[in-house]
Amino acid sequence: MEKISPASWVVSAGRSRRPGEPLNVAPVLASNFYLPSERVYSRGDGTTTAEALEELIGGLEGGVALAFSSGMAAVAAVLHRLPVGATLAVPEDPYHGVAGLCAEGEELGRWTVLRLDLADTEAWVQAAQTADLLWLESPANPLITVADLPAICGAPRRAGTLVAVDSTFATPLVQKPLELGADIVMHSATKFIGGHSDLLGGLLVSRRVELFDELAERRKLTGAIIGGLEAFLATRGARTLALRIERAQHNAMVLAERLEAHPEISRVRYPGLPSHDTHEAAKRFMSGFGAMMSFETTGTGERAGAVCERAELINHATSLGGIESTMERRAVIPGQETIPPTLIRFSVGCEDVEDLWNDLSQALEATRA
Ligand SMILES: Cc1ncc(COP(=O)(O)O)c(C=O)c1O
């Protein structure tokens, strides 16, 4: 077949196409398989359900994918392959689970952590000459900073240095880190890929066979494979990824512009806005600006919290990437005390944009001093 677009790929990949079989690979809820067989035990050998998801996401990213039980299980597989004494470069404010793993390894004397400003491209380019792993997150949690991935992933490196990108906020439809020179792309499938807030899952994608084999072995040893039901739900959710992203990105742009002009809002951070610090970088290599933004209300942190509570359509919840909009004040998360107290992270969903705007407007009005 001619090369098809990503929007067609998400609909069509990961199907058996064998006569008599169901269109959707069924959820294989099994640990054990009859012998003799190449598939013996699902912790090491996987399931056809996980493979359907891996084919779908691997094809989108342009590599080979491994599905994990959560995003954090996928992160841990990458971090824990580092030898004792390694140096690891991470953003100053990565996803707090990643920050926690890094700090724990540091306390145990496993590795040295360099914490770099994501927007300081030169610092990352230099770290590529000294660190064993560059762990990037872009766009990043919760300031929605976009790293200059072409410059960092394409920079000359010391032999053996790996570059991994947590691309959860972008999804495989909005940026392709492997094409820019990264070795590993990571996704929390819990978010946009699954898209319905009903599963935990993670993915690693790579083009490097030896690295893939090593990560697969790690997944087997640590028992971190995705469950059959979760893999089924993630594949089913990913079928509408292109539709959901198109709609959610459109909604996000409209809402970001309106919020920026609202007198009760002091700052909006969305890479699609020319006022965003990393708008120029985003424009260069992303095919859109994603559906994640953050904004700061005027007044106190308590007021920002009240806005989240007064919303009726937008869900007051921590996770993101669902078909439904969610928002949360981030400074209340342990370890996130450096985040501005009135900052609300907003995952824009697929509801009607006017309804979302009316909901934000009434919550801002109801909490006005
Ligand atoms: C950017 C990012 N990376 C990784 C994770 C961890 O994923 P999971 O919750 O699926 O373990 C999250 C979860 O919120 C996230 O937002």
Reported as a single tens digit per residue, the pLDDT across 262-320 is 999 999 999 999 999 999 999 999 999 999 999 999 999 999 999 999 999 999 999 99
H or E element that contains 185: strand 184-188
34 and 163 within one domain: yes
Q: Which listed residue (93, 132, 148, 166) is catalytic? A: 166
Q: With a 6 A CB cut-off, is 297 part of the ligand 1 pocket?
A: no
Structural domain range at position 270: 241-366
Provide the 3-class DSSP secondary structure of residue 202.
strand
Q: Determine the Cα–Cα distance for residues 245 and 290; give it in Å rounded to an integer.
A: 7
CATH number where 99 lies: 3.40.640.10
CA angle, residues 248, 253, 256, in degrees to nearest 5: 115
Q: Residue 344, Cβ neighbours under 10 Å: how many?
A: 27
261 and 228 within one domain: no
Q: Is the pTM of this model over 0.85?
A: yes
Q: 210, 238, 266 — which closes off a domain?
A: 238
List, for residues 260-278, the tens digit of each pLDDT value: 999 999 999 999 999 999 9
Q: How far is the CA of 188 from the centre of ligand 1 (A)?
A: 5
| Catalytic residue list contains 191 | yes
- The amino acid at residue 128 is A
234 and 139 within one domain: yes
Query: Which residue in this structure is represented by tokens 């880190």?
Result: 177
> Considering the domain boundaries, does residue 324 fall inside one?
yes
Q: With a 6 A CB cut-off, is 70 part of the ligand 1 pocket?
A: yes
CATH number where 352 lies: 3.90.1150.10
268 and 207 within one domain: no
266 and 232 within one domain: no
Torsion on CA atoms 326, 329, 331, 333, rounded to nearest 10: -50
Q: Determine the Cα–Cα distance for residues 164 and 301; give it in Å rounded to an integer.
A: 34
Q: How far is the CA of 95 from the centre of ligand 1 (A)?
A: 7
Q: 204, 220, 238 — which closes off a domain?
A: 238
Q: With a 6 A CB cut-off, is 100 part of the ligand 1 pocket?
A: no
230 and 248 within one domain: no
142 and 42 within one domain: yes
DSSP state for residue 25 in the 8-state scheme = P
Q: Determine the Cα–Cα distance for residues 256 and 261; give it in Å rounded to an integer.
A: 9
Q: Residue 122, Cβ neighbours under 10 Å: how many?
A: 13
Give residue 106's pLDDT band: very low, low, confident or very high (50, 70, 90).
very high
pLDDT of residue 326: 98
Q: Measured in whole angstroms, how far is the alpha carbon of residue 320 from the centre of its chain?
A: 9
21 and 60 within one domain: yes
Q: 238, 261, 287 — which closes off a domain?
A: 238
Q: With a 6 A CB cut-off, is 188 part of the ligand 1 pocket?
A: yes
360 and 264 within one domain: yes
250 and 225 within one domain: no
> Considering the domain boundaries, does residue 314 fall inside one?
yes
The closest residue, in CA terms, to atom 8 on ligand 1 is 71
Of the chain, the end-to-end C-alpha distance in Å amounts to 61
Q: Domains in the chain: how many in total? A: 2
Q: Residue 149, Cβ neighbours under 10 Å: how many?
A: 28
Q: With a 6 A CB cut-off, is 203 part of the ligand 1 pocket?
A: no
261 and 208 within one domain: no
> Considering the domain boundaries, does residue 1 fall inside one?
no
Q: How far is the CA of 96 from the centre of ligand 1 (A)?
A: 9
